């Protein structure tokens, strides 16, 4: 399935009162726009990204938008015009098209995936959150607001982006907008075109930056610059399996038993990295009940995990791994393991440390019946720019 993401960033953000368009304002070490684009450009299921910018900016876009899988188009007078301009550049092979407001820089990989799945199944979907407050409909009498109705809050949802559509559904919505129908978003146009729109669970962290207060809150949200995570893994050793540690096959008469290639070093690293961004563990992302991971390469799982943490706005600074194994000794292979892990983590080799230990004959590991690994990862806010990590 080919997925295209359209990032709507053609507005001027006048309500924020800044001297430049709000999408160019910084949150930490990156702009709002860069964070939003990176979330989709680094997502494993998004094939290409179209960024809609104000016409003047589109002629001289920032250098970091020059990646092969990121294209820039000029926006129009209205949001729906801007999205229509981008839709004209969607590749013929695209099956699902996402539309996301650049002003929501904290969109998570999980929300992107939920939106893709819902659009593929139902045709159209939006991320939204149920209203938690009592909702009142009011009418103005002069300068005073008068309540005329209390709306049951269970029927009210607050729309977010991304909004996701099968290509033909968004095409019908765009055509309706070009025909003169006014709408505040693409889901409204899809509704008007006769397509039901599903709601997928939104994310409270997926905030929209509209006012100066929103910007201040977003900057506070990203103020934590470092995160630490720990990981642990253990597998039984059996005959007839290869012994793979950190992506390196080590000569041995026994190997680790598991659903994937049972690489304890990679699994511990994945857990450490996921732990640092509070994104669960290796079993949640690569469950042993899923046939996709049967015999899968754990070093590839590390690469996939790195894309996830980059999309969340974090970069990996260093990892430290301890492998506990009675035999064979891994000392001759440590440099190769460091090299493989560094490449998968997209960091320098001197940022990866690997140690081999024994368990001094104690418990299953000490008896040579199992292999274990511990890992620690340090992450910092600020992922690589869009397109810098290979999909």
Domain boundaries, the chain: 3-131+158-221, 226-381
Measured distance CA(221)–CA(203) in Å, rounded: 14
Task: Give the lowest-confidence range in 194-198, 277-281, 362-366, 381-385.
Answer: 381-385
pLDDT digits (tens, 9 = 90+) for 203-232: 998 999 988 888 888 887 776 578 999 999
Q: Which residue has the higher pLDDT, 380 or 88?
A: 88
Q: What is the pLDDT of residue 331?
A: 96
Fold type of domain 3-131+158-221: Spore Coat Polysaccharide Biosynthesis Protein SpsA; Chain A (3.90.550)
> What global pTM score does this model have?
0.65
Q: What is the mean pLDDT of residues 155-179?
A: 97
Task: Give the lowest-confidence range in 29-33, 155-159, 203-207.
Answer: 29-33
Q: What is the DSSP letter of 204?
A: T
Per-residue pLDDT for 314 more than 90? Answer: no
Per-residue pLDDT for 160 more than 70? Answer: yes
Concatenated DSSP letters of 104-170: -TT--HHHHHHHHHHHHHHSEEEEEEE--S-EEEEEEETTEEEEEEEEPGGG-EEEEEEEEEEHHHH
Q: Assign domain 226-381 one CATH number from 3.30.910.20, 3.40.190.10, 1.10.10.10, 3.30.1330.50.
A: 3.30.1330.50
Q: What is the pLDDT of residue 386?
A: 36
Burial (CB count <10 Å: 0-12, 13-18, 19+), residue 145: exposed
């Amino acid at each position: 399935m080919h997925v295209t993401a359209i990032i709507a960033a053609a507005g001027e953000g006048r309500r924020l009162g800044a001297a430049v368009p709000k999408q160019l304002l910084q949150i930490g070490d990156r702009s709002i726009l860069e964070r939003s684009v990176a979330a989709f450009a680094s997502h494993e299921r998004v094939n290409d990204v179209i960024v809609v910018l104000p016409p003047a900016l589109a002629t001289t876009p920032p250098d970091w938008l020059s990646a092969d899988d990121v294209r820039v188009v000029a926006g129009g007078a209205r949001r729906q015009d801007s999205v229509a301009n981008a839709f004209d550049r969607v590749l013929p092979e695209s099956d699902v098209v996402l539309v996301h407001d650049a002003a929501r820089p904290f969109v998570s990989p999980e929300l992107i995936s939920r939106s893709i799945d819902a659009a593929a199944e139902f045709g159209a979907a939006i991320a939204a959150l149920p209203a938690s407050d009592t909702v009142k409909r009011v009418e103005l009498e002069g300068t005073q607001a008068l309540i005329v109705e209390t709306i049951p809050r269970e029927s009210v949802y607050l729309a977010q982006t991304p909004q996701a559509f099968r290509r033909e559904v968004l095409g019908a919505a765009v055509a309706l907008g070009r025909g003169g129908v006014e709408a505040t978003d693409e889901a409204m146009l899809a509704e008007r075109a006769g397509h039901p729109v599903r709601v997928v669970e939104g994310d409270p962290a997926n905030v929209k930056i509209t006012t100066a207060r929103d910007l201040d809150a977003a900057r506070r949200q990203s103020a934590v610059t470092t995160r630490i995570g720990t990981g642990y893994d253990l597998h039984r050793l059996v005959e007839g399996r290869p012994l793979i540690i950190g992506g390196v096959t080590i000569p041995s008469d026994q190997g680790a038993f598991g659903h994937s290639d049972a690489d304890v070093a990679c699994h511990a690293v994945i857990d450490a990295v996921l732990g640092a961004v509070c994104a669960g563990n290796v079993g949640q992302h690569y469950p042993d009940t899923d046939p996709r991971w049967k015999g899968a390469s754990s070093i590839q799982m590390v690469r996939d995990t790195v894309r996830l943490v980059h999309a969340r706005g974090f970069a990996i600074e260093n990892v430290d791994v301890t492998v506990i194994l009675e035999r064979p000794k891994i000392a001759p292979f440590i440099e190769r393991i460091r090299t493989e892990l560094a490449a998968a983590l997209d960091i320098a080799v001197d940022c990866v440390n690997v140690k081999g230990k024994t368990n001094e004959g104690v418990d299953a590991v000490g008896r040579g019946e199992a292999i274990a690994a511990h890992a620690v990862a340090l992450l910092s806010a600020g992922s690589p720019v869009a397109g810098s990590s290979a999909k």
